Amino acid sequence: MRYSHYLVFFCFFITTTLQAQNSDTLSGAGDEIVVTATRTERKLSNVAVPVSIISQKKIQQAGSLRLNDILQEQPGIFLTNGFGTGIQMQGLNPDYTLVLIDGEPLIGRTAGILDINRITVGNIKKIEIVKGPSSSLYGSEALAGVINIITNKPNNNTLNVSARYGSFNTTDINIRASFNKKKFSYQGFANAYFTDGFSIRPNSVERAIAPIQRYTTQQNFGIKFSPKTSLSINFRYNDEKIKNIIAVTNNGVVTSSEGNEHNKDINTTLQLTHKYNNNLKNILRLYTTQFESLQQLATSNGTPYTDYFKQQFARLENQTDYIVNKQLEINAGIGYAIETANSTRYDNSNNQKNNQIGFAFLQSEWKPSPSFTFIAGARYDNNQLYAASFSPKIALQLKANNKLVFKASIGKGFKAPDFRQLYLNFTNAAAGGYSVFGTVEAQKIITQLIQIGQIASLENDYYRLGELQPEYSTGINIGANYTINERLNFNLNAFKNNINNLIDSRLVAYKSGGAQIFSYLNVKNAYTEGIEIALNYKATNTLSFTGGYQLLLSADKDDLNNINIQKVYTRDANGYSRLMQKNEYIGLPNRSKHMANMNIQYDHNKSFVNLRLNYRSKWAVNDKDGNGLYNTNDEFANGYVQVNTAAGKTLNNKLSIQIGCNNLFNYEDVNNLPNMPGRTFYTKLAYSFFQ
């Protein structure tokens, strides 16, 4: 309790001390240029869908090292723990958020999660976050929205270096250089990250060393052939080595494993831009990427474990932007993508799986008046592995006056079944011998096991196995932005996502020895809905306050139906079975009903101090009463507040120093937040040789 008293005192001290400073205005908020929402450059004030921007300055002043550091402090975003750190937006799982770097998708998901710890923030210019279905522009994996990481591009001649050191011997070094000469430009970036790391085994307080080494380089070349034609070449390479300490629980038995993991991530982009005139522009893009991972473990019972995964993706795309007149603009694109995967989990690493996708999209923006904007678009994806998908979206914006803007959008998103859900052939001998088979393989493999007498029983869901269909979401967002005065801005967005054909893993059989066999089915229809609120307040020239809050409700519609027809039971305090009431149902697991964040920032004379708070209410983690859904009688993780702070100063326009403390009050939850360290400190030095 005394920590809360200290926090209140600190906020009060900062606020009262700085109130005497001169006033300032909220400048430039609506003039930011965004590209992710429409795939063309637009002022933020003219975008009709929910978009937020994280600036380079905000990333740096938060003391962020990896992408997860800065995203965990954004309204309505929760980072999940599991197979790396994933992004949950609007209550939808990490599978449904598309992550881009400079407009191109990252690959290499494990169990649907793209580990954003792989991404350094040392060369990020800004991050654009679009919430709500975006498949009308980006195709699969964009049900929840899109996060586009936009890196620095060549500008003036610069050379900057920085080094940071902190708890767990964490060291981060950045070097960034750029120059322009006539028609040629170049920017190079390199990052080296080392840490002793930490690992907390579930159900214990043991903390072990788990070293991590990550190296990232990005090279960007630009050639301007003429005032109308230019070529951009971008190359990125990420290499990471991790010492893994893992604990897996199956049937109440915990198996610990230790070993090494090596991941490599390569991305290459060529972009040719030709501007025919002021109204017509064409962009041709070629993108190739490869992710390769090798994990080798030894378990506590002596069983070796090897997991190899290699995924490749190549896409050729052409986009044309045509300004018909001052009221109408049309954007059209067509492309083709090839995807392959090799894995020890797909029969063997030499058995390559393939997929090919042809696609086309069309979007039009109509502005009949300066106060009204209407956007309509659609995308068609012809996927080799499943039926074609059509994804429409419409959005509108109405400027009631200079202070009040209304926005609304409705769109359809989809996610294709991935290679894992189709082809997985995996038996985990290190955790009880359970198996998971993709739908293409499941019936064939189980039939073979039946013939040799290794199947004890088949479950009802075995007879439901069949061809997987894409998951679909219809998302609605309705909101308003109100600039109360030159200091205070308020943003509200209400959302609802209806998800159909959700792919879920289901128990389909038992082996003779009791080990389970799982596969995948289109079984669930669910929804998430809620409200997001964002507030920006500039109290003085030097003191500002930003805050955000999300209320989230979710449910599996089949669960609700079963409760309504009185088919669901729970247990009372004495352990006796009884019918469950509808008000006891809490919805989908691993989601908090309430989330909030706050940032108090002081900037003065090239110095800054900030205090950042992240709050998450409790969330369901275990079906304690065994009724197959989550209710108030189940097991929950406790809600918590994480407090971070940083301070910095720039000397003589070249040298800057920053210090910070994350998790100031040392909050820990060993079982539910094993990747959250206790209190950590750091110091950072940066020097600009010229800029």
pLDDT digits (tens, 9 = 90+) for 258-312: 889 999 999 999 999 999 999 999 999 999 999 999 988 887 777 787 889 999 9
In angstroms, rounded to a whole number, what is the distance separating the alpha carbons of residues 318 and 352?
28
How many other CB atoms are there within 10 angstroms of residue 293's CB atom?
19
What per-residue confidence (pLDDT) applies to 233? Answer: 96
Q: What is the mean pLDDT of residues 125-135?
A: 91
Domains by residue range for the chain, with CATH: 2-690 (2.40.170.20)
At residue 574 the predicted structure's pLDDT band, cuts being 50, 70 and 90, is confident
Please report the pLDDT score of residue 571 as a whole number: 87
Instruction: Please state the separation of Cα 198 from the chain's center in Å.
Output: 23
Query: Each residue of 360-397: b (16+ CB within 10 Å) or e?
Result: bbebebebeeeeebebebbbbbebebbeebebebebbb
One-letter amino acid identity for 174?
Answer: N
Report percent pLDDT > 90 for the chain. Answer: 56
Global confidence as pTM: 0.89
Written as one string, the DSSP assignment of 525-591 is EEEEEEEEEEEEEE-SSSEEEEEEEEEEEEEEHHHHHHHHTT--EEE-TTS-EEEPPGGGB--SSS-
Give me the pLDDT at residue 546, please: 95
Asked whether the predicted pLDDT for residue 207 surpasses 60, the reply is no
Ordered strands of the 104-105 beta sheet? 51-55, 124-131, 145-151, 97-101, 104-105
> Is pLDDT at 420 greater than 60 in this prediction?
yes
Confidence check: pLDDT of 117 > 50 = yes
Pick 154 or 382 by higher pLDDT.
382
Q: Hey, is 363 helix, strand or coil?
A: strand
Q: What integer pLDDT is reported at residue 352 of this predicted model?
A: 85
Check pLDDT > 70 for residue 179: yes
Measure the CA–CA gap between 115 and 541, rounded to whole angstroms: 38
Q: How far apart are CA 468 and CA 464, in angstroms?
A: 11
Could you read off the pLDDT of 448-487 as tens digits, one per residue?
999 999 999 998 888 888 888 888 889 999 999 999 998 9
Question: What are 670-691's pLDDT values in tens digits?
Answer: 778 877 888 999 999 999 987 6
What pLDDT, on the 0 to 100 scale, is given for residue 47?
A: 81
Q: Can you tell me the distance from the alpha carbon of 127 to that of 120, in angstroms, rounded to the nearest whole number?
A: 12
Give the pLDDT confidence of 71-90 residue by residue, as tens digits: 999 988 988 877 778 899 99
How distant is the alpha carbon of residue 681 from its chain centre? 25
pLDDT at 387 over 80: no
DSSP 132: S
The pLDDT of residue 353 is 87
Task: Give per-residue pLDDT as tens, 216-257.
Answer: 999 999 999 999 999 999 999 999 998 877 666 655 666 677
Mean pLDDT check: name the lowest of 10-19, 512-521, 534-543, 574-583. Answer: 10-19
- Nearest of 91, 148, 111, 133 to residue 414 by alpha carbon: 133
Reading the block at residue 75, the tokens are 């309204």
In 645-681, which positions are buried (b, 16+ CB within 10 angstroms) versus exposed (e)?
Answer: bbbbebeeeeebebebbbbbbebeeeebbbbbbeebe
Q: Residue 12's pLDDT is what?
A: 35
Residue of higher predicted confidence among 440 and 665 = 665
592's CB contacts (< 8 A; 6+ apart) are: 78, 552, 616, 617, 618, 619, 639
pLDDT of residue 35: 85
- What is the number of helices (H) and of strands (E) in the chain? 7, 40
How high is the pLDDT of residue 278?
93
Query: What's the mean pLDDT in 96-101?
Result: 92
Q: What is the pLDDT of residue 205?
A: 47
- Per the prediction, the chain carries an average pLDDT of 87
Q: How confident is the model at residue 347 (pLDDT cuts 50, 70, 90)?
A: low
In which band, very low, low, confident or very high, does the pLDDT at 652 lie, cut at 50, 70 and 90? confident
Q: Determine the residue type at 620.
A: A
pLDDT score, position 425: 87
| pLDDT score recorded for residue 199 | 59
Q: How far is CA 474 from CA 64, 129, 248, 524, 553, in A?
A: 34, 19, 36, 15, 16
Q: Among 153, 144, 64, which Cα is nearest to 101's? A: 153
3-state secondary structure of 377: strand
pLDDT tens digits, 18-75: 333 333 333 334 567 888 888 888 777 778 888 889 999 999 999 999 999 999 999 8
Q: Tell me whether strands 145-151 and 97-101 are parallel, antiparallel or unpaired.
A: parallel
User: Tell me, what's the pLDDT at 21?
Assistant: 35
User: Could you read off the pLDDT of 359-373 as tens digits, one per residue?
Assistant: 999 999 999 999 999
Whether residue 556 is predicted with pLDDT greater than 70 in this model: the reply is yes
- The pLDDT value given to residue 447: 92
